[in-house]
Every structure is written in C-alpha cells, then in structure tokens.
Amino acid sequence: MDELVRTFYLVTARGLTLARLASIPLFLVLLVDTPPTGAALWRLSLLLLYGGITLSDFCDGRLARKAGAPSHAWGQMDALADIAFTTVSLAAAAWLGRVGFWVPAGVAILGGRFVLRNLGRPPAPTGRLREDRAGKAAGVIYYLLVGAITLDVAAGSGRWSQWSIARVGDVVFFYTLWLLLRRRPPAPGSAGLQPGSESHTGARRSQDNDATELGEGTSPPPAGSVPTPPGAPHGVCATPDAAVSQRHQVAPVQPLRPGALDHPSLAWPRE
C-alpha cells in the first residue's frame, strides 16, 4: 500500500511539471488576447490558469520528496519549466508595453546561468538542485511580477496601475542585475573543492610547500647527522663521513687581509 501511495505521489509530481510546461502557450494566448473590457470568461480563465500554474510549481517538488524519490534530472526539468514560464510571460508583457524588454532578458540570462551551473555541478545529497536564498527569492519575485501583470490585465486597470507595474519591473531588473554581477564563494561540495579533485590536490600541494618553506611539517634530523648541504635532495641528511668528504672538495677559505672590510663597497648604506 505504501509503495502504491509513493508511486501516486511521484506520478502526480511528474505530471504537474509536464502540465506546467504544456500550459505555457495557452497562458500566453490568454495574456495577449484578453480584451480590456468585457469577455469575463477570458479574464476568469486567465486568472485560473495562472493559479493552476503557480500551484503546480508549489506542489510538484514537495510530492516528489514525499514519495522519497527526488531526482536531479526532474529538478532541472522543474527549473526549466519555471524559467520558461516567467521568461516568455514577461516577454509577452514587454510586447504589450507593461514592462521593459530588459526585464525578461535579465530573467532569461539568470535562469540560463543557473541551469548551466547545475549541469556541471554534482547534485545535493537529497537530489535537489543547488541554489542559494537570493536566487530562490528571485524565482518567487518573478512569479509575483507575472501575477501582478495577470491581475492587471484581467481587471482592465488604468494607466496608473500599468505605470506602477512597469516601475516594479524595473526594480526587479536591478535585483536580477545584482544577482548576475555579485561574487559568490564556491558552493560547498562543488567539484573544485572535493577531495581528490585537481584543484583540491593543487591547493594541498601549495599548503605543503608553504609549510616546508616555514620549516613546518618536517622531522628533525637523526642524531649524529649534519644539516643537508645545498643541492642535496630534500629530506636527506648527510652523514658525518659524507659531510667530511664534501668539505674536502671545497676550496680552503683564505684569511682576510687587514683593512679588507674598509672598502667603500662593503660599507653599510646610509639614508
């Protein structure tokens, strides 16, 4: 029985995602062709369809997680459905003069970058897409902006309402622009930070080199040995016999003549 319920939840979640994608053309027709006066059926259909699309976006992911089978691939499909709906709806609104054309352009660029980043990044342990709060808030804001435009079209509001929605669209665009230009720290668990990856290995090697230069992380030479002479392999301490042999190969040091250190080139530089 439990397996049957989980299957029902999973099939319903997948169906809601696909239905949201399939309903986008119908929503565009209603948004563009709804007349400013009369045609109450068109207005009601537009509002009901927007409510159904929003409700499907709210329920599909929750049903999939309730079924215990969240999928990274279907998560990307869900994100694509949201990006497609908000982008083409705002593009239609820009064509109608409700918002500037830069608003849907910013939504498309930000959404495309989000999808491409998740394509090259391992999924979260729960199977969900990796996103931060600011990006998630942007998706909610885009839905609310489309909802405001839908309500304005269905209600047949005047110029003041249209001007207000256009200014709200400008604010949304600046928020999108901030998301595009901000610098974020690497996401936890990304491929570049996982142990064994190339960047992780390079960073570890750099830390080891820094520790070696600072004298850290090396064991003291064994008793009876002398420091490693220059040019010898790293980590190998010369034995006393080897040090004596090497010392015999070095030219003897000549004693300094009296007054040799008084040469001007050896004087301490003055300010």
The answer to the question of residue 221 being in a domain is no
The answer to the question of residue 240 being in a domain is no
% of the chain beyond a pLDDT of 70: 61
Q: Is the pLDDT of residue 226 over 90?
A: no
Question: With contact defined as beta carbons under 8 Å apart, do 223 and 152 qualify?
Answer: no
Q: Is the pLDDT of residue 152 over 80?
A: yes
Which residues neighbour 138 within 8 Å (Cβ) at sequence distance 6 or greater?
Answer: 110, 175, 176, 179
Q: Which residue has the tokens 């709906």?
A: 85
Q: Measured between alpha carbons, how far apart are the two ends of the chain, in Å?
A: 90
Cα separation, 188 vs 122, whole angstroms: 11
The answer to the question of residue 76 being in a domain is yes
Angle at 102 between CA 100 and CA 106, to 5 degrees: 140
The answer to the question of residue 223 being in a domain is no
Q: Is the pLDDT of residue 203 over 70?
A: no
Q: Is the pLDDT of residue 225 over 60?
A: no
The answer to the question of residue 187 being in a domain is no
pLDDT at res. 70: 61
Phi, psi of 17 (to 5 degrees): -65, -45
The answer to the question of residue 151 being in a domain is yes
CB neighbours (10 Å) of residue 135?
A: 17
Q: Where are the alpha helices (DSSP H) in 23-71?
A: 24-33, 40-66
pLDDT band of residue 141 (cuts 50, 70, 90) is very high
pLDDT at res. 60: 84
- Beta-bridge mates of residue 238: 226
Report the SS3 class of residue 216.
Answer: coil
Number of structural domains (the chain) is 1
Q: Cα separations (Å) of 49 from 140, 141, 143, 147, 259?
A: 17, 18, 13, 11, 100
For helices 2-22 and 40-66, the axis angle rounded to 10 degrees is: 140
The CATH number given to whatever domain includes residue 22 is: 1.20.120
The answer to the question of residue 205 being in a domain is no
- Domain residue limits at 124: 2-181
Q: Is the pLDDT of residue 215 over 50?
A: no
Q: Is the pLDDT of residue 149 over 90?
A: yes
The answer to the question of residue 53 being in a domain is yes
Q: Cα separations (Å) of 255 from 54, 80, 260, 263?
A: 92, 83, 10, 16
